[in-house]
Amino acid sequence: MERMLMTFLVLGSMGLMAQVIDRTKPPATPPIPAYKLPPVYETRLGNRLAVVMVEDARFPLVTVRLGFLAGNKFDPPDLPGLSEAVAALLTQGTQSRTSRQIAEELAAIGGALNGASGPDAITVSGSVLSENTPKLLELLADVARHASFPEKEVELRKQNRAQELEAQRSEPSFLADEKFAEVVFGSHPYSRIAPTPQSIARIDRKALASFAQTYLVPNNATLILLGRLPARAEALKLVEEYLGSWQQKALPAPPKPDFPETRHAVYLVDRPGSVQADIHVGGLAVTRADPDFFPLSVGSVVLGGGGSSRMFLNIREKKGYAYDAHAILQPKRDAGDLAAVTQVRNEVIEPAMQAVLDELKGMVSDPPSKDELDRTQNFMSGLFVLRLETQNGLATQLITAKLMGLPNSYLERYVESVRAVTPAQIQQVAKKYMAPEKAAIVVVGDASKISKPLEKFGTLTVSKAN
């Protein structure tokens, strides 16, 4: 017996030794299947509220999203930040409940409910155990329809937001984001990414209620119900009970999607004492519905989408100019923006800036290799599918698609669309959106230390950090 065991071990070890493993290459990525949505049922109530139901019986949970086209771009010109204040205060009191009562009722059912605002939309998000779905819908309807914006909560919100803004404005990265949006989007409301101290001070209950009454209406909303739902007829009855009597209203026209052509120039925000410079280079880009979106999305990841991207490998790993170097594509409903971003020491501002511009130029002149493209497409496809594994992830993607005016097939065809991108398509969109001679350059840093080197890269405009 002992002899037989020894023979088995020897033969096994010889078999393992015979397997040649090439450790210089990563293991092959298996094919990533296209994403298939669970069954989706869609309808509209008589008040034109769009209702989307998705059954996911894996867990006894229900996730909800109620989205309105009521984001920051709808703020009055003199009240930037109004939309985000409305979103933050929705759950802080209604005509029949105080903020404490809302919090206690949510805690009693193990639920959550909160509002958030972005460039295009306000979204109220929630989740609860399936058995408590009716109660969550009741609370959701109350905060969406009857928010009262109590004076005490409004004042507390204003104090907190003023402190948050002061902290934000102490960060050079925020100042760079702010200036870049201003340069790219011009007079369009997308150019305002945050309130001002003056607008925070002017926000009051009247302005908050007026905004909510104008934009938080059923014919401007989409409700997502996802999870282990009641039977369809019962679920629809619940939605009708709490949201069916909600009165629709005529909506104001949205801001015109009028954007300036990106002009090549250097915009320096002077921040005395900064020992490094925050750099944004880029310009106007596309929406998710644009035919250029997928080639540009894949191309932006090749350029600066992680540790194997061109910017990271060159600007950080090879040249050591920065800790981080990346590219970011931010599509919105009416437009988008693309930026190559990094933060570098003042002493290397000139070679670092040239390196960023060279990487953008390289996207135009040198399309990605097969290995680069395969790696990027695998990464993007896998990450997308992974994000849709949770109820929260799927609900977020669904409400985003609906609010951006995209069909359900956008989610199902995402992997296919990413994998269909070719090097020639990336080179084509790079010429349109990444060419350095068309890019705006925004830098935040100490003008006394870095303005002279920056003059070499274009007409220089200097402004003060507020």
Per-residue pLDDT of 397-441, as tens digits, reads 999 999 999 998 999 999 999 999 999 999 999 999 999 999 999
Residue 32 vs residue 362, higher pLDDT: 362
Shared domain check, 103 and 235: yes
Shared domain check, 147 and 45: yes
Shared domain check, 272 and 124: no
Per-residue pLDDT of 342-393, as tens digits, reads 999 999 999 999 999 999 999 999 999 999 999 999 999 999 999 999 999 9
pLDDT-derived band of residue 466, with 50, 70 and 90 as boundaries? confident
pLDDT-derived band of residue 465, with 50, 70 and 90 as boundaries? confident
pLDDT-derived band of residue 19, with 50, 70 and 90 as boundaries? low
- Residues 321-338, mean pLDDT to the nearest whole number: 97
pLDDT of residue 4: 52
Angle at 80 between CA 49 and CA 280, to 5 degrees: 105
Does residue 18 surpass a pLDDT of 70?
no
pLDDT of residue 127: 97
Does residue 225 surpass a pLDDT of 80?
yes
Does residue 296 surpass a pLDDT of 60?
yes
Number of folded domains that form the chain: 2
Q: Distance between the two ends of the chain, CA-based, in angstroms?
A: 84
Work out the mean pLDDT of the chain and round it to a whole number: 93
> Does any domain span residue 259?
no
- Residues 50-67, mean pLDDT to the nearest whole number: 95
- Residues 327-344, mean pLDDT to the nearest whole number: 97
> Does any domain span residue 15?
no
Does residue 133 surpass a pLDDT of 70?
yes
Shared domain check, 119 and 214: yes
Shared domain check, 331 and 232: no
Residue position matching structure tokens 């058995």: 131
CATH number of domain containing 302: 3.30.830.10
Shared domain check, 227 and 348: no
Does residue 121 surpass a pLDDT of 80?
yes
- Residue 358 CB-half CA count within 13 A: 11
CA distance 271 to 447: 7
* Strands 50-55, 221-227: pairing kind: parallel
Share of the chain above pLDDT 70, in %: 94
pLDDT-derived band of residue 36, with 50, 70 and 90 as boundaries? confident
User: Measured in whole angstroms, how far is the alpha carbon of residue 400 from the centre of its chain?
Assistant: 9
> Does any domain span residue 136?
yes
Shared domain check, 323 and 392: yes
CA distance 185 to 436: 18
pLDDT of residue 12: 54
> Does any domain span residue 11?
no
> Does any domain span residue 393?
yes
pLDDT-derived band of residue 37, with 50, 70 and 90 as boundaries? confident
Shared domain check, 275 and 133: no
> Does any domain span residue 111?
yes
* Strands 266-270, 460-464: pairing kind: parallel
> Does any domain span residue 253?
no
- Domain residues for 219? 40-243
pLDDT of residue 408: 87
In SS3 terms, 353-364 reads as HHHHHHHHHHHH
Shared domain check, 275 and 227: no
Shared domain check, 317 and 400: yes
Shared domain check, 238 and 202: yes
Shared domain check, 162 and 311: no
pLDDT of residue 352: 97
Among candidate residues 209, 243, 277, the one where a domain is terminated:
243
Tell me the pTM: 0.90
> Does any domain span residue 14?
no
